[in-house]
Amino acid sequence: MTAEDTKATEAVRAAARAARGAAPSLAGAADGAIDAAIEAMARGLAEAGPAVLAANEADMQAAAAAGLAPGVRDRLRLDPERLKAMAAQLEILARVEFAPSSRKVRELPGDLVLTEVSRPVGVIGANFEARPNVVVDIASQLVKSRNAGVLRTGSAALRSAIALADEVISPALAAAGLDPDAIALVRVPGQAAAYALVREPRLVPLVILRGSGDSTRALAAEGAAHGVRTLAHADGGGVLYIHPSADPAVTARLISSSLDRLGVCNRLNLLLLDRQRWDAWLPEITGQLAGLGIGVSLPPHDHPLGYEWALDPAREATVTVAPADGPAAAAAIANDETSGLAAGIAAADEAAAREFLAAYAGTGAFWNATTRLLDGFKLLELPETGISIDAVPGPRGPVTFRDLCLRQFVVTPA
């Protein structure tokens, strides 16, 4: 183990032990105290705004000096409007009602009653990209679910994350009468801390892995090797299939609204144009993309159809365009060649749309709607801890506080 690995492991264990010690403060808290903490976070974003923005400006200057890609810097940036949007989401979350923590299942022989109870996990880890807003998103979700947490962000956002933790999150917990150590931040830079976080099954049994690409896949594999369960979203990329019945105005709207941000996982990545309209409609579509500043990768492709352009800083302003032979074939391409995150169809023909939706097995399916809607707040009016594209039972799609619990069966006398 290198000196960097040792330092990272010690930092993660210290944060995890602090969070574990504080976990009972959240698990036993009244609903009102939980919501009061989240409301205090919202106020704290305004009160501590200057300190947070100053830290973020230092991160932005370092990112520019390091030559980080524009998409990375866009995700890193905070400004007064983004802080207001973060606060607004917190205020909404604080008003969301809690689901019942228990329900009677049935009566058992011998005058017994079976009850199903939802319990917090205890301590949940989260590793995420250099996006400061995610610090507050995940912290608030963990608090709402009554779980303590250990957060680790990309090194480029560490100054911003420390400011948010120290100036917003910890004071808010304390003001609500909760233990401020319940949300702990790993404060050492470097990828070693991410690997250390997924190697502590007794301290952090569940880790949310946000971000995309090889690094997230590697962390998920490392967690599995050490007995840590992960909720991972390594790959993304939205798909849009254009059916011959599609209204050109609707198609144009979907293309533009799906490319408003290029560094996000649910943006348009692969456009499938029905072969019947390939020659007639391709010039107009490529022209629109060019007008949006987007390059086009046309057949024959020198890359997989599902190649995720958001992960390619040099070519993120690119969309792959390919033909498809009808709704079922388009859905098959989306199923087999992409991550399974999200796919949509542009069509006026309801039968064609239903055929596509029935055949597509991914996390989010859309008809005349942008895949950019696959987002916790846009779909559910709740911040998300991440998006799960697992093809097995468990949380799928935007993961919110309601998913961060364990089921327990309790048998008691009637």
Report the distance separating Cα 96 and Cα 78, nearest Å: 26
* DSSP structure string for 279-302: HHHHHHHHHHHHHTT-EEE-SSPS
pLDDT interval class at 277 (50, 70, 90): very high
Q: CA distances (Å), 176 to each of 41, 94, 97, 246, in order?
A: 10, 13, 18, 53
pLDDT interval class at 412 (50, 70, 90): very high
Show Cβ contacts of residue 156 under 8 Å, excluding neighbours closer than 6 positions: 59, 62, 63, 66, 68, 72, 76, 130
pLDDT interval class at 133 (50, 70, 90): very high
pLDDT digits (tens, 9 = 90+) for 193-204: 999 999 999 999
Residue 283: is its pLDDT beyond 80?
yes
- The DSSP call for residue 347 is -
Neighbours of 396 (CB within 10 A): 17
Report the distance separating Cα 236 and Cα 75, nearest Å: 16
Report the distance separating Cα 84 and Cα 53, nearest Å: 12
Over range 366-386, report the average pLDDT.
89
Q: Which pLDDT does position 83 carry in this prediction? A: 98
CB-based burial, 71-109: b 16+ in 10 Å, e otherwise: bbbebbbbeeeebeebbebbeebbebeeeeeeeeeeeee
Q: Which pLDDT does position 52 carry in this prediction? A: 98
Q: Identify the structural domains of the chain with CATH numbers, from first to last.
A: 3-235+396-413 (3.40.605.10), 238-376 (3.40.309.10)
pLDDT interval class at 396 (50, 70, 90): confident
Assign 3-state DSSP to the chain and report helix, strand, coil percentages, each to 5: 50, 20, 30
- The DSSP call for residue 374 is -
pLDDT interval class at 389 (50, 70, 90): confident
Instruction: Specify the residue for token string 């993660």.
Output: 12
Over range 121-125, report the average pLDDT.
98
Q: CA distances (Å), 301 to each of 93, 306, 351, in order?
A: 44, 11, 31
Q: Which pLDDT does position 101 carry in this prediction? A: 93
pLDDT interval class at 70 (50, 70, 90): confident
Q: Which pLDDT does position 210 carry in this prediction? A: 86
Q: Which residues pair with 93 in a beta bridge?
A: none
Q: Which pLDDT does position 376 carry in this prediction? A: 81
Neighbours of 400 (CB within 10 A): 23
> 115: burial class by Cβ within 10 Å (0-12, 13-18, 19+)?
middle
Q: Which two tokens stand for residue 3?
A: 């000196």
CB-based burial, 125-149: b 16+ in 10 Å, e otherwise: bbbbbbbbbbbbbbbbbbbbbbbbb
Show Cβ contacts of residue 276 under 8 Å, excluding neighbours closer than 6 positions: 244
* DSSP structure string for 247-262: -HHHHHHHHHHTTS-S
Residue 71: is its pLDDT beyond 80?
no
CA dihedral 124, 223, 209, 35 (to 10 degrees): -10
Compute the mean pLDDT over every residue in the chain, rounded to the nearest whole number. 95
Q: Which pLDDT does position 386 carry in this prediction? A: 79
Over range 227-255, report the average pLDDT.
94
Residue 212: is its pLDDT beyond 80?
no
Q: Which residues pair with 152 in a beta bridge?
A: 127
